[in-house]
């Protein structure tokens, strides 16, 4: 079956059309005295999304241009024969006119079609055009599973350039018809203004679509919201979102570069309270993505997503519970060395113990053994886990504890997926080559950026014995390459339903398979 996704407007996204779309997205009219033209109807401003899909349902998301009610119909056929209409929910200014609805009691392993429209609150007979999306529920049996992952979008000033095909990597990923997309964070660059033009080293000019709110660093809630909405203006992203559910996590650039309690904000910021910025960023993040919400801790990012007999995904939050960035050299575990934090550590251990899936994918927004300096210019301090060569110290004490637990429990078939560093790599961790050796061998795969500057390679920490099996990075003399250079990367995972084998392939935006490996599951 071919699903035709209705775009917000027909035709190519031009700068003229972009401006009109952006203007519509800013409408905050509470009521209109007279609605006579089709253009006066509510609008679905940024397409539709689904996310956190499990065996019996998932979350759908959309945004309107005014106070309205989101109405959703759901069906198991593209024709919407026998569609079920769900009770409407409000889209109000308090949530920037976004609305999220949990769809439940759906059959497992089934293509699900949903149709979203908005009804005006002041004129209930006036409705928007419907926008259609789809997702597939997780399988109840051992069928094949396929998903893509990556991170880092609209970074370093590289925004939507129609002349370069926009955010082209999303169209490439969609060709694989994945069951879902694991977004490893840096969904936006709140600290990265988007200018209309960027001069390239070859004297060519990169031309961005622009909006007023992205001309500066994000400080207000509306500016954080605008950074997310900016990405959704790309036709590749909207088309991808309508067909591929997202499992999303966050990292630093949802707030600002390398943020922690110790962050020294640059002079470009008028708001100097990092915790206030983080709170506004978190609110915008949760408004803009279809995540299942925690009852015990509203706004919690870490969670387990069960995707059938072969796969559980454990989504980590490595921002909300960390201590201040520092030297990261503590010999004893305590608040200064928190990265995941004790409560999330307890959750992860228990979730791994409870898992009956063949593969346990740990979604980490930062790599385990790549050094990311807090002060990159002076190569000081630690932003990630790694602090230099072993023994395990500081934040590495958490990783040592997790790896020891996985070995002794024992937990079979763990794989770590990450992004953050803006290049592609495959790391094999061998205890025989490590300073800390109390763990079983495992793999970590790195991908990205999806649409940002390409960097690397980073220095490697030997604490856990990583061996670089593959790397593609521009080299230290060619940093911050634009998307047009072609070095945009994503990962693709396939799990064979019959054998349980996992094949991991690292690809570029032209869909060239750069490197691949097939992992056999350990049984018992």
Say if strands 414-418 and 442-446 run parallel, antiparallel, or are unpaired: parallel
CATH number of 145-519: 3.60.21.70
Report, in this order, helix, strand and coil percent for the chain, each rounded to 5: 20, 25, 55
Could you list the beta-strand ranges (E) of 371-418.
373-375, 380-382, 414-418
What average pLDDT does this structure show over 296-317? 97
Looking at residue 31, its pLDDT comes to 35
> Measuring CA to CA, how many Å separate 513 from each of 118, 167, 425, 516?
41, 19, 13, 7
**Termini Cα distance of the chain:** 39
Query: Between 3.30.70.20, 2.60.40.380, 3.90.1150.10, 2.40.37.10, what CATH number should domain 15-136 receive?
Result: 2.60.40.380
Instruction: State whether the Cα torsion 495-101-363-359 is positive or negative.
Output: negative
Arithmetic mean of pLDDT over the chain: 93
Residue 22 has pLDDT above 80, yes or no: no
Q: How far apart are CA 436 and CA 315, in angstroms?
A: 25
Looking at residue 28, its pLDDT comes to 36
With cut-offs at 50, 70 and 90, classify the pLDDT of residue 80.
very high
What average pLDDT does this structure show over 60-77? 98
Name the residue with tokens 């000019």: 205
Peptide bond into 177 cis (omega under 30): no
Phi, psi at 482, each rounded to 5°: -75, 165
Phi, psi at 68, each rounded to 5°: -165, 180
> Are 495 and 358 a contacting pair, CB within 8 Å?
yes
- Beta bridge mates, 134: 113
180's enclosing H/E stretch is strand 180-183
pLDDT tens digits for 365-419?
A: 999 999 999 998 899 999 999 999 889 999 999 999 999 999 999 999 999 999 9
With cut-offs at 50, 70 and 90, classify the pLDDT of residue 228.
very high
Looking at residue 25, its pLDDT comes to 40
> Are 71 and 91 a contacting pair, CB within 8 Å?
no
pLDDT tens digits for 28-64?
A: 333 334 444 556 899 999 999 999 999 999 999 999 9
What average pLDDT does this structure show over 270-299? 96
What average pLDDT does this structure show over 109-133? 96
> Are 471 and 480 a contacting pair, CB within 8 Å?
no
Residue 432 has pLDDT above 50, yes or no: yes
CB-based contacts of 350: which residues, under 8 Å, 6+ apart? none
> Are 49 and 290 a contacting pair, CB within 8 Å?
yes
pLDDT tens digits for 141-198?
A: 999 999 999 999 999 999 999 999 999 999 999 999 999 999 999 999 999 999 999 9
> Measuring CA to CA, how many Å separate 142 from each of 106, 161, 412?
18, 42, 18
Domain residue limits, the chain: 15-136, 145-519
Residue 423 has pLDDT above 60, yes or no: yes
What average pLDDT does this structure show over 9-29? 37
Looking at residue 17, its pLDDT comes to 39
Residue 314 has pLDDT above 50, yes or no: yes
């Amino acid at each position: 079956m071919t699903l035709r996704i209705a775009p917000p407007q027909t035709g190519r996204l031009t700068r003229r059309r972009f401006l009109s779309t952006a203007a519509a997205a800013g409408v905050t009219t509470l009521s209109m005295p007279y609605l006579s033209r089709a253009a006066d109807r509510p609008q679905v401003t940024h397409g539709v999304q689904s996310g956190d899909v499990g065996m019996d349902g998932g979350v759908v998301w959309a945004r309107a241009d005014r106070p309205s009610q989101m109405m959703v119909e759901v069906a198991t056929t593209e024709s919407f024969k026998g569609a079920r209409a769900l009770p409407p929910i409000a889209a109000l200014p308090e949530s920037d006119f976004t609305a999220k609805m949990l769809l439940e009691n759906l059959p497992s392993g089934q293509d699900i079609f949903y149709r979203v429209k908005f009804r005006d609150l002041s004129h209930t007979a006036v409705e928007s055009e419907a926008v259609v999306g789809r997702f597939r529920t997780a399988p109840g049996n051992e069928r094949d599973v396929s998903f893509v992952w990556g991170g880092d979008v609209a970074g370093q000033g590289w925004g939507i350039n129609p002349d370069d095909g926009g955010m082209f990597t999303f169209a490439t990923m969609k060709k694989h018809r994945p069951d879902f997309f694991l977004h490893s964070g840096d969904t936006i660059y709140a600290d990265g203004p988007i200018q209309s033009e960027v001069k390239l080293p070859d004297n060519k000019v990169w031309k961005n679509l622009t909006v007023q709110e992205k001309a500066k660093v994000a400080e207000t809630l509306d500016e954080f919201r605008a950074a997310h909405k900016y990405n959704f203006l790309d036709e590749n992203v909207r088309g991808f979102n309508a067909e591929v559910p997202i499992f999303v996590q966050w990292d630093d650039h949802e707030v600002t570069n390398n943020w922690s309690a110790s962050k020294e904000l640059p002079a470009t910021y008028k708001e100097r309270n990092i915790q206030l910025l983080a709170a506004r960023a978190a609110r915008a993040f949760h408004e803009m993505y279809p995540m299942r919400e925690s009852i015990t801790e509203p706004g919690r990012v870490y969670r387990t997503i069960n995707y059938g007999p072969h796969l559980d995904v454990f989504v980590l939050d490595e921002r909300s519970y960390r201590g201040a960035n520092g030297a990261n050299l503590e010999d004893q575990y305590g608040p200064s060395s928190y990265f995941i934090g004790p409560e999330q550590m307890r959750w992860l251990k228990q979730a791994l113990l409870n898992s009956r899936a063949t593969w346990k994918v740990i979604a980490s927004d930062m790599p385990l053994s790549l050094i990311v300096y807090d002060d990159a210019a002076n190569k000081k301090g630690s932003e990630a886990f790694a602090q230099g060569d072993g023994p395990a110290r500081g934040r590495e004490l958490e990783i040592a504890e997790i790896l020891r637990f996985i070995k002794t429990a024992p937990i079979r078939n763990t794989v770590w997926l990450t992004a953050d560093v803006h290049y592609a790599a495959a790391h094999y961790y061998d205890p025989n080559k490590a300073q800390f050796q109390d763990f079983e061998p495992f793999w970590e795969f790195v991908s990205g950026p999806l649409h940002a500057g390409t960097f690397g390679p980073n220095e490697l920490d030997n604490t856990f014995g990583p061996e670089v099996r593959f790397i593609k990075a521009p080299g230290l003399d060619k940093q911050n390459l634009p998307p047009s250079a072609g070095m945009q990367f994503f990962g693709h995972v396939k799990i064979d339903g019959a054998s349980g084998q996992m094949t991991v392939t690292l690809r570029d935006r032209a869909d060239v398979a750069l490197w691949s490996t097939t992992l056999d599951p350990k049984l018992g």
